[in-house]
């Protein structure tokens, strides 16, 4: 970046980047699991899957909230030469970085259908819903602060995820006019 600027990705966008793939892979795996009677039978599989869905959604949405708040408290205003990363780029980078993990999770959910039909798929879908809920929670924090939270791209994990991981020391903020949008300098316009 020119003159000391950094690339910034919006925190809520990075968090929800995995929500749709997890949801859809989970729905497909659960649907395919209903075609297999499994060891436990479909009824027990669906009941176990419903419990796993609720537990996963709650855990994923609540775990780590304290860390997000701790990084948001000392947030500083984004600099004139910082560049905001487009939402589509953040999502694409996350999905590329996690594609093998997503494929492995989908394969595991399909494999579990032979023992407990639909349960593994419902667990995946619950993780996706949990990420949506966490992103919505972050959006509400942004509304309260009247600012959007951004993390430096070089502080994300190798797979372009974990915006609240150890490398992240604090967030940057912009005005709400910046939206999720793209490659715009943050100077006087936001």
How far apart are the C-alpha atoms of 135 and 87, rounded to whole Å? 13
Residue 189 contacts residue 92 (beta carbons within 8 Å): no
What's residue 177's pLDDT? Answer: 66
Selection from 2, 11, 48, 3 nearest residue 153 by Cα: 11
The pair phi, psi for residue 118, each rounded to 5°, is 75, -15
Positions of the chain with pLDDT under 70: 1-4, 177-190
Residue 122 contacts residue 49 (beta carbons within 8 Å): yes
Return the half-sphere exposure (C-beta side, CA atoms, 13 A cut-off) of residue 116: 16
Element (H, E) at 173: strand 172-174
First to last CA, the chain: 19
Residue 101 contacts residue 18 (beta carbons within 8 Å): no
pLDDT in tens, 160-187: 888 888 888 889 888 876 664 544 444 4
Selection from 190, 140, 185, 139 nearest residue 1 by Cα: 185
What's residue 178's pLDDT? Answer: 65
Q: Is 81 exposed, middle or buried (0-12, 13-18, 19+ CB in 10 A)?
A: middle
Selection from 108, 121, 126, 151 nearest residue 18 by Cα: 126
Write down how long the chain is: 190
What's residue 110's pLDDT? Answer: 93
């Amino acid at each position: 970046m020119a003159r000391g600027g950094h690339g910034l990705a919006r925190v809520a966008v990075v968090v929800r980047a995995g929500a749709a793939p997890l949801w859809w892979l989970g729905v497909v795996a659960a649907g395919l699991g209903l075609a297999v009677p499994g060891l436990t039978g479909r009824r027990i599989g669906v009941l176990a899957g419903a419990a796993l869905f609720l537990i996963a959604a709650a855990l994923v949405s609540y775990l780590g909230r304290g860390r997000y708040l701790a990084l948001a408290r000392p947030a500083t205003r984004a600099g004139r030469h910082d560049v905001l990363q487009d939402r589509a780029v953040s999502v694409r980078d996350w999905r590329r970085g996690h594609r093998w993990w997503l494929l492995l999770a989908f394969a595991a959910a399909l494999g579990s259908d032979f023992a407990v039909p639909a349960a593994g798929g419902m667990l995946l879908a619950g993780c996706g819903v949990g990420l949506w809920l966490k992103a919505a929670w972050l959006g509400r924090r942004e509304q309260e602060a009247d600012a959007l939270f951004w993390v430096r791209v070089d502080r994300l994990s190798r797979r372009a995820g974990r915006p609240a991981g150890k490398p992240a020391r604090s967030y940057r903020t912009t005005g709400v006019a910046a939206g999720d949008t793209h490659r715009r300098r943050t100077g006087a316009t936001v």
